Amino acid sequence: MDIEKVGVVGCGLMGSGIADVCARAGLDVIVCETDSGALDAGRQKIEKSLARAVKSSKLSSDEAEAVASRIHYTTKLDAMADRALVVEAIFENEEAKVALFRDLDAIVSDADAILASNTSSIPIMKLGVATQRPAQVCGLHFFNPVPVLDLVELVTSLVTSDETSERAARFAGDVLGKHVVHSKDRAGFIVNALLIPYILSAIRMVESGFATKEDIDAGMVKGCAHPMGPLALADLIGLDTTMAVAESMYEEFKEQLYASPPLLCRMVEAGLLGRKAGRGFYDYRK
47 is catalytic: no
The pLDDT score that the predictor gives to residue 251 is: 94
State the Cα–Cα distance between residues 100 and 203, nearest whole angstrom.
33
- In SS3 terms, 99-126 reads as HHHHHHHHHCCCCCCEEEECCCCCCHHH
Same domain, 221 and 155: no
Q: What residues make up the domain containing 52?
A: 5-184
Domain end among 137, 163, 184? 184
Q: Domain boundary residue among 156, 184, 212?
A: 184
Q: pLDDT at position 18, please?
A: 98
Are residues 158 and 267 located together in one domain of the fold?
no
pLDDT number for residue 53: 96
Give SS3 for 266.
Answer: helix
Among the listed residues 65, 89, 120, the one whose alpha carbon sits nearest the alpha carbon of residue 14: 89
* 223 shares its domain with 109: no
Whether 174 and 253 map to the same domain: the answer is no
Residues 32, 97, single domain; the answer is: yes
Specify the number of domains making up the chain.
Answer: 2
Query: Is 269 a member of any domain?
Result: yes
Nearest in space to 69 (alpha carbons), one of 40, 39, 36, 47: 47
Q: What span, in angstroms and rounded, lies between the C-alpha atoms of 171 and 84?
A: 11
Question: Do 210 and 152 belong together in one domain?
Answer: no
Show the 3-state SS of 155-211. Answer: EECCCCCHHHHHHHHHHHHHHCCCEEEEEECCCCCCHHHHHHHHHHHHHHHHHHCCC
Q: Are residues 118 and 60 in the same domain?
A: yes
pLDDT in tens, 34-67: 999 999 999 999 999 999 999 999 999 999 999 9
* d(C-alpha 246, C-alpha 258), whole Å: 5
User: Does one domain contain both 67 and 200?
Assistant: no
pLDDT of the residue at 1: 60
Determine which one of 141, 183, 248, 260 is catalytic: 141
Which among 33, 88, 92, 153 is annotated as catalytic?
A: 153
Question: Do 38 and 87 lie in a common domain?
Answer: yes
Given 118, 152, 184, which residue is the final one in a domain?
A: 184
Q: Is 6 helix (H, G, I), strand (E, B) or coil?
A: strand
The per-residue pLDDT for 235 is: 97
| Residue 153, in any domain of the structure | yes
Q: CA 203 → CA 103, 147, 158, 224, distances in Å?
A: 38, 29, 34, 18
Evaluate whether residue 221 is within a structural domain. yes
CATH of residue 173's domain is 3.40.50.720
Q: For residues 249 and 55, what is the distance between their CA atoms, to the nearest angstrom? A: 40
Annotated catalytic residue, options 49, 121, 192, 260? 192
Report if residue 34 sits inside a domain: yes
CB atoms within 10 A of CB 253: 14
pLDDT tens digits for range 209-224: 999 999 999 999 999 9
For residue 256, the domain's CATH number is 1.10.1040.10
What element of type H or E holds 86? strand 85-88
Listed as ranges, residues in the chain with pLDDT below 50 are none
State yes or no: is 141 an active-site residue: yes
User: Does the annotation count 226 as an active-site position?
Assistant: no
Residue 118: active-site member: no
